[in-house]
Amino acid sequence: MKKRSEWEIYLDILDSLSENGPMKKTSIMHDVHMSWKPFNNHFGFLNENGFITESDDGYNVTDKGKETLKNLRQIKKTLENNEYYNLKK
């Protein structure tokens, strides 16, 4: 697996939550294939800045998180269609 950029990690976390519904922290961590410390740093950023929220069932993506996820997916799609970006992989 290639090293992911910061924004790709945020995308993966938001994507996992969006597709799988409410999840516990460790389930998200396993789903995005990260170790605890790096995951906790990224997860904390998303939580503290209102992109995700905790409920009785686990964590969910907020409206702000959904909008950000939509934008990150568009960025990824744009970059994947860019010849220079694909050469660097």
Domains of the chain in start order, with CATH, are 9-87 (1.10.10.10)
Per-residue pLDDT, averaged over 65-88, amounts to 84
Inform me whether the pLDDT recorded for 87 exceeds 80.
no
- 50-59, pLDDT tens digit by residue? 999 999 999 9
pLDDT digits (tens, 9 = 90+) for 2-57: 688 999 999 999 999 999 989 999 999 999 999 999 999 999 999 999 999 999 99
Measured CA to CA, the distance from residue 82 to residue 89 in angstroms comes to 12
Q: In the prediction, which pLDDT does 89 show? A: 53
Helix, strand, coil content of the chain in percent (nearest 5): 65, 10, 25
pLDDT at 80: 83
